[in-house]
């Protein structure tokens, strides 16, 4: 234990970890603020949030299990030295917390109009159909609630098993990680990497189908895509870790870069069509007394006088998202985040 607790200071690794911790906070803030400022989380895939949250939780507990002998050194070290040797655990725990906040904001700011099933009742003659709202939950909102419970249950279960093993297994005489804990940590790391590998598949598919950026934050992805590679290197340099600890971050960085390139492509498309991230026209002067709403390949003329605030503005053949609520003046900083 003495050798583990009194390792030489690695200034390069410490500086890299400190920079990454600050970078994590800076990179996630645009996404959190974007959802809050726009008042909508539309555009996110619940499957993406499920896989991302469970992957981050497994990666965090993997790091805790492998670094447990080092964490126990805090009993005989100063607070500053304790923070230094446990910086890797702080790093992955912060990453989990910041991503999970996205899931929380997704549930809080889920558009009310999409929570329940709407029915169009045909009218007589040439009158437009009557739009009736029901109290039946929509399939996606029901899935989102199930996802939230699944993430919570997954976290509680893995946390219980991890700390049960840590407190019931005798420490290794050499100061290393006991065999049972090492196997459990490997399971956590491999499952985290697998979940991270498929995490972006549903979000890539959803973003491709919508052909809109939605509530996704491009500044966050610009920072995190290269940051994931640096984070993998930082974790690999921490004592007691192995490939299962950093594989998840490397895989996530590659997949997030693919999502970033897709969002940039849709951003150019939106500018060409003169529509916003949620699909509504940017130039309100183009509105007329009669607009065309595209459903699949059928164009239906609808009188604006019968449109309510929840109806969608549509351009070309893009499957468009809801028009966001008008708000007061935004600062230049917030306008930049919403780009």
Asked if 221 and 265 count as a contact pair (C-beta separation under 8 A), the reply is no
Q: Which residue has the tokens 């996110």?
A: 44
Same domain, 221 and 304: no
Q: Do 217 and 31 form a contact (C-beta atoms < 8 A)?
A: yes
State both tokens at 21. 């911790």
pLDDT band at residue 333 using 50, 70 and 90 as cut-offs:
very low
Does residue 30 belong to any structural domain of this protein?
A: yes
Residues 33 and 337: beta-carbon distance below 8 Å = yes
Structure tokens at 207: 């973003």
pLDDT at 215: 87
pLDDT class of 328 with cuts at 50, 70, 90: very low
Residue 297 gets which letter from DSSP? T
The answer on 324 and 254 residing in a single domain is no
230 plus 328 within the same structural domain: no
| Least reliable range by pLDDT among 80-94, 128-142, 261-275, 298-312 | 298-312
Estimate the crossing angle of helix 87-108 against helix 46-66, to 10 degrees. 160
Q: What is the pLDDT of residue 46?
A: 93
- Domain boundary, last residue among 239, 273, 307: 273
Shared domain check, 329 and 304: yes
249, 273, 297: which is the final residue of a domain?
Answer: 273
In a domain, 215, yes or no: yes
| The model's pTM | 0.69
- Domain assignment present for residue 153? The answer is yes
Instruction: Give the residue numbers spanning the domain of 186.
Output: 10-111+140-273
Residue where the block lists tokens 């189908």: 209
Look at residue 144 and tell me if it is in a domain: yes
- Do 199 and 50 belong together in one domain? yes
pLDDT given for residue 67 in this prediction = 85
- Whether pLDDT at 70 is above 90: no
Residue 266 and residue 300 in one domain: no
Cβ atoms of 71 and 81 closer than 8 Å:
no
In a domain, 122, yes or no: no
What pLDDT is attached to residue 188? 93
Q: What is the 3-state secondary structure (H, E, C) of 196-247?
A: HHHHHHHHHHHHHHHCCCCCCCHHHHHHHHHHHHHHHHHHHCCCCCCHHHHH
- What pLDDT does residue 239 have? 66
> Which is nearest to 52 in space by CA: 12, 20, 6, 98?
98
For residues 216 and 325, state if they share a domain: no
Asked if residue 326 belongs to a domain, the reply is: yes
DSSP secondary structure code for residue 54 in this structure: H
> Of residues 114 and 264, which shows the higher confidence score?
264
* Whether residue 291 is found in the same domain as residue 269: no
Last residue of a domain, one of 222, 252, 273: 273
81 pLDDT more than 90: no
The rounded distance, in Å, linking the Cα atoms of 85 and 89 is 9
Which pairing describes strands 290-295 and 116-121: parallel, antiparallel, or unpaired? unpaired
The secondary structure element, H or E, covering residue 21 is helix 11-38
Instruction: Mark whether 206 and 304 lie in a shared domain.
Output: no
**pLDDT at residue 4, as a whole number:** 59
Residues 268 and 290 in one domain: no
Q: Given the structure tokens 């895939």, which residue do they identify?
A: 45
Return the minimum-mean-pLDDT range out of 111-115, 153-157, 238-242: 238-242
pLDDT band with cut points at 50, 70 and 90 for residue 296: very low
255 with 292, same domain: the answer is: no
The answer to whether residues 60 and 24 touch, using CB atoms and an 8 Å cutoff, is: no
Mean pLDDT of the residues in the chain: 77
> How many separate domains does the chain show?
2
Q: Which of 86, 83, 87, 92 is nearest to 61 (CA)?
A: 92
Does residue 172 carry a pLDDT above 70?
Answer: no
pLDDT reading at 97 higher than 90: yes
Is residue 289 situated within a structural domain? yes
In a domain, 252, yes or no: yes
**Could you give the CA distance from residue 336 to residue 339 in angstroms, rounded to a whole number?**
5
Does residue 293 have a pLDDT over 90?
no
* pLDDT score of 107: 95
Same domain for 294 and 254: no
pLDDT over threshold 80, residue 299 = no
Q: Let me know how many helices (H) and strands (E) the chain has, helices first.
A: 11, 4
Between residues 50 and 77, which one has the greater pLDDT?
50
The model's confidence at residue 173, banded by pLDDT at 50, 70 and 90, is: low
Interacting residues of 232 by C-beta distance below 8 A, sequence separation 6+: 246, 247, 249, 250, 253
């Amino acid at each position: 234990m003495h050798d583990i607790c009194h390792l030489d200071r690695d200034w390069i690794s410490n500086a890299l970890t400190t920079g990454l911790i600050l970078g994590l906070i800076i990179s996630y803030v645009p996404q959190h603020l974007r959802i809050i400022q726009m008042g909508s989380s539309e555009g996110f895939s619940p499957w993406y949030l499920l896989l991302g949250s469970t992957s981050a939780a497994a990666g965090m507990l993997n790091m805790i299990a492998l670094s447990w002998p080092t964490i126990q050194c805090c009993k005989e070290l100063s607070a500053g030295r304790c923070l230094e040797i446990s910086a890797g655990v702080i790093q992955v725990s912060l990453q989990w917390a910041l991503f999970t906040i996205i899931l929380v904001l997704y549930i809080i700011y889920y558009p009310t109009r999409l929570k329940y099933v709407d029915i169009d009742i045909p009218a007589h003659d040439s009158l437009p159909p009557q739009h009736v709202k029901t109290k039946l939950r929509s399939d996606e909102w029901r899935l989102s609630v199930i996802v939230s419970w699944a993430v919570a249950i997954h976290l509680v279960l893995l946390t219980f098993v991890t700390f049960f093993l840590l407190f019931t297994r005798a420490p290794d005489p050499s100061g290393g990680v006991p065999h049972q804990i090492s196997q459990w940590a490997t399971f956590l790391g491999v499952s985290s990497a697998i979940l991270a590998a498929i995490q972006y598949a549903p979000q890539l598919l959803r973003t491709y189908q919508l052909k809109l950026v939605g509530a996704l934050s491009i500044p966050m992805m610009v920072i995190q895509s290269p940051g994931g590679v640096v984070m993998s290197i930082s974790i690999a340099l921490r004592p007691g870790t192995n490939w299962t600890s950093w594989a998840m971050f490397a895989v996530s960085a590659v997949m997030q870069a693919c999502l970033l390139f897709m969002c940039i492509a849709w951003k150019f498309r939106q500018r060409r069509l003169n529509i916003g991230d949620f699909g509504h026209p940017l130039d309100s002067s183009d509105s007329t007394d009669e607009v065309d709403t595209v459903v699949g390949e059928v164009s239906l003329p609808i009188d604006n006088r019968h449109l309510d605030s929840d109806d969608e503005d549509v351009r070309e053949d893009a499957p468009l998202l809801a028009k966001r609520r008008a708000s007061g003046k935004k600062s230049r900083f917030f306008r930049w985040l919403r780009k």
